Structure 1
Amino acid sequence: MTQSMPIRPVEFPGGRALFRLDPAVAHLNHGSFGAVPIPVQEVQAAVRAEVHEDPDAFFVGVAERIEAARARIAGHLGAAPEGIAFISNATEGANLALDALPLADGDEILVTDHGYGTVVAAAARRARITTVSLDPNLPDEEAVREAVLAGLTPRTRVAVLDHISSPTARPIATPQLLADLAERGITTVVDGAHAPGMVADPLAGGADFWFGNLHKWGYAPSGSAVLAVAPEHRGRVRALVPSWEDAHGFPRSVENRATADYTGWLAAPEGLDLLDRLDAAKVRAHNSTLAAYGAALLAEVPGLTPLPYSEGLAMRALRLPPGTAETPGDARVLRERIAAQEGIRVLVWPWPGGGGIRVCGQIYNRPEEYERLAARLPAHLTGA
């Protein structure tokens, strides 16, 4: 799609006041770690106080409280409460899903070169992987779909795909692609790390296994995520570490971690409740507009090339000049130099022939933060 300069966005009313972020830093990387709004922090703090006041009472009844919180999350995601489980992060979800699959010697798992590193590593531990290379410049979702299907082999049994890719902010596991894979008998495992909160109906594709972080766009505390499992697979899902709740089976069996800190999970529904109170559609539109504005400004920087994008997402990516951030080490150095010298947080990702930069939009961001990045980035590209 052609990038054009959008109208300068206005601030989201009251958006900045909902967070305790350092105002001296431009936080343009919400997609990596998220940020917890103050009302959600306060709920978590209240639950933590309960733990300290009477640990016995808290831990004896925590399984039922987690179940109630899970039901609230399920309502937001359009899921059945018995079909999802709280987990800590997407990588845990990948391991739980892959452990539940009866893979035989010679079976293959398809992944893409846009996949998140630890999720791909989880697949590689269990079977031979086939990696589909997706050119970041593929023009649309149909081109992505065709590339993935072309990568299947007679031994492909599982496809591990991003819902929305982390570095390039592109939808990959679309409903059409998931349907095509199901027709071919391929089990689908979808990394939906960026979907809850940013996508209105994150489970619409009907994957066999889907996992997503709540702490990014769902305003939940860190360490809050969910795993959704289709009915036919739930009986095979086993906790990575056995617990006293194993006899209950999924989802309760994978949620129990003895005396772990459950306060984030119990506060997690407050994040999606807050999103609804702010008007989720309005928040998504605002965040997408901000990301588009930032990408349009960066597209004017010499040497940067905007990548194709999907409307409505709050992340945009651009390629950096050849020779810049081509390795993980170089990307990390550039990212931290921008942070240290300019007070700007962005994602810089490595790629052969020239890495990339990703900007995000969130209700605490202001247009001038993207303008500052566009003005100061060129100095960091010379000899980077």
Structure 2
Amino acid sequence: MSVAGPQPPVPIPGARLLFSLDPGVAHLNHGSYGAVPIGVQRTQQRLRDETEANPMRFFNRGLVDRITHARRHLAGFLGADPDGTALIGNVTIGAAIVLQSLRLEPGDEVVGTDHGYGSFALTVDREVRRTGAVRRTLPVPLGATDEEIIEIVRSGIRAGRTKLLMIDQIASSTARLFPTAAIVAVARERGVPVLVDGAHAPGMLPLPVDTIGADFWVGNLHKWGYAPRGTAALVVAPRWRERIEPLAVSWYDDAGFPTRIEWQATLDYTAWLAAPVGLFTLRTLGLERVRSHNAALAAYGQWVIGRALGIAPADLLHPGGPTVAMRLLPLPAGTASTLDDAMELRRRIGDELGAEVAVNAWQGRGWLRLSGQVYNRAEEYEQLAERLPALLAAPS
């Protein structure tokens, strides 16, 4: 007897037409690079045209004020203090800024979990090589409860020695939703500062940044917030703002945080200036409507592909819970168990099946990560479910 699974949500009328994605490809990996609505693309192009029409005027007459205005708009959407928010290119840049500003010393610890994003680990490794500090990783089982995760963190940080705890809000590799506010509270009891990686949070999760209470929070708006790529935010608690330094010093260094971080001379600022149009698009579609649609569609995709792979419904993990628009599927043992193999399988699925997905190697096993977005349709997941088992069974 077949077990009834989740049903796909009703498509949002007209939403698919807002994007310029290739209709011959199933784009099931919004979480990696996002997709920029056509209206946002055109806004950014107009700003680029304005730049090239008179570069002197664009850069020298009011640009800082325009960036500030865009930042205030984006910070309001995030639920963050605009004066404690700096616009940056992506979350890894934000992590590098924080780590550099901490001025680590030999023996200091930077602690994270094994769900952390790879470029964050590389950034920490570079900083510990420079300073003599140490990176420690806390293993967190994929099926751990929130209470278990909190206890793992409580036992893993050390007052006076742990100089930074880095925790995901939603983990990229596993789509795990972490109890960030509770973790921050535990770390505060020990006097340990926390950096929250909220790369996937803006536009997907309703939790206002300021309610998390982290010392540092970084998040991308070019994923689920429909902003142009290269739009992210670094939010810093008041007691740290004077210590935060840019990776490269530029002309507004004396202006303090956040302008000293944002102003990087001839950087292309058009992504930041166009980003509010992405939020306007999201609100026009209906923010809660989009969130519930995307989460439901990802759940349906996980179920239909999991069934095709012979995964029992009880074994379908959804560590992000019902509000997260990304879902995880375990691949057969020995498949994509290394980074190189995962990248190769992702390429094969894209080239041979016409579907773009995320494939990650985590804890010695390959995992398929699916996203749901307003431009996706149930039949895209169904078609992948029909064809993926044969590809996995065929020799590479």
Same fold by TM-score, threshold 0.5 exceeded?
Answer: yes
Q: Which residue of 2 aligns with 1:198?
A: 204
Aligned positions of 1:203-214 closer than 5 A = 203=209, 204-214=211-221
Aligned positions of 1:217-232 closer than 5 A = 217-232=224-239
Aligned positions of 1:147-186 closer than 5 A = 147-153=152-158, 155-186=161-192
Q: Do the aligned partners of 2:15 and 2:285 also contact (CA within 8 Å) in 1?
A: no
TM-score normalised per structure 1: 0.96
Matched, 1:237 2:244: yes
Q: 1:280 aligns with which of 281, 284, 287?
A: 287
Q: CA deviation at 1:353?
A: 4.1
Q: Do the aligned partners of 2:70 and 2:272 also contact (CA within 8 Å) in 1?
A: yes
Distance in 1 (alpha carbons) for counterparts of 2:101 and 2:264: 19
Distance in 1 (alpha carbons) for counterparts of 2:220 and 2:309: 35
Q: Which residue of 1 aligns with 2:35?
A: 35
Q: Which residue of 2 aligns with 1:364?
A: 375
Q: Which residue of 1 aligns with 2:338?
A: 327
Instruction: Provide structure 1 residue ranges, at least 5 long, that are not aligned to the other structure.
Output: none
Structure 1 counterpart SS, 2:20: coil
The one-character-per-residue Cα deviations of 1:9-58 (angstroms, maximum 9, x if unpaired) are: 22121111000000000000000000000111111111111101111110
- RMSD between aligned residues: 1.5
Name the aligned partner's letter for residue 378 of structure 1.
P
Distance in 2 (alpha carbons) for counterparts of 1:202 and 1:164: 14
Distance in 1 (alpha carbons) for counterparts of 2:4 and 2:237: 41
Q: CA deviation at 1:172?
A: 2.0
Q: Which residue of 1 aligns with 2:5?
A: 5
Q: Do the aligned partners of 1:91 and 1:119 also contact (CA within 8 Å) in 2?
A: yes
Distance in 1 (alpha carbons) for counterparts of 2:163 and 2:339: 30
Distance in 1 (alpha carbons) for counterparts of 2:334 and 2:308: 16
Distance in 1 (alpha carbons) for counterparts of 2:182 and 2:381: 35
Q: Which residue of 2 aligns with 1:266?
A: 273
Name the aligned partner's letter for residue 357 of structure 1.
L
Q: Which residue of 2 aligns with 1:104?
A: 105
Name the aligned partner's letter for residue 264 of structure 2.
R
The one-character-per-residue Cα deviations of 1:173-225 (angstroms, maximum 9, x if unpaired) are: 52111111111111101111000110112412111000000100000001110
Q: Which residue of 2 aligns with 1:374?
A: 385
Structure having the larger proportion of residues in helix: 2
The one-character-per-residue Cα deviations of 1:54-110 (angstroms, maximum 9, x if unpaired) are: 111100121111011101111111112111011000100001111221422211111
Name the aligned partner's letter for residue 326 of structure 1.
S
Q: Which residue of 1 aligns with 2:303?
A: 296
Specify whether residues 4 and 319 from structure 1 end up closer, same or farther in structure 2 by C-alpha distance, changes over 3 A only: farther
Specify whether residues 190 and 229 from structure 1 end up closer, same or farther in structure 2 by C-alpha distance, changes over 3 A only: same
Q: Do the aligned partners of 2:298 and 2:372 also contact (CA within 8 Å) in 1?
A: yes
Distance in 1 (alpha carbons) for counterparts of 2:369 and 2:208: 22
Specify whether residues 303 and 151 from structure 1 end up closer, same or farther in structure 2 by C-alpha distance, changes over 3 A only: farther
Q: 1:146 aligns with which of 143, 147, 151?
A: 151
Specify whether residues 24 and 157 from structure 1 end up closer, same or farther in structure 2 by C-alpha distance, changes over 3 A only: same
Distance in 1 (alpha carbons) for counterparts of 2:52 and 2:323: 42
Q: Do the aligned partners of 1:11 and 1:363 also contact (CA within 8 Å) in 2?
A: yes
Q: Identity of paired residues, percent?
A: 49
Instruction: Provide structure 2 residue ranges, at least 5 long, that are not aligned to the other structure.
Output: 128-132
Distance in 1 (alpha carbons) for counterparts of 2:115 and 2:138: 9
Distance in 2 (alpha carbons) for counterparts of 1:306 and 1:240: 42
TM-score normalised per structure 2: 0.93
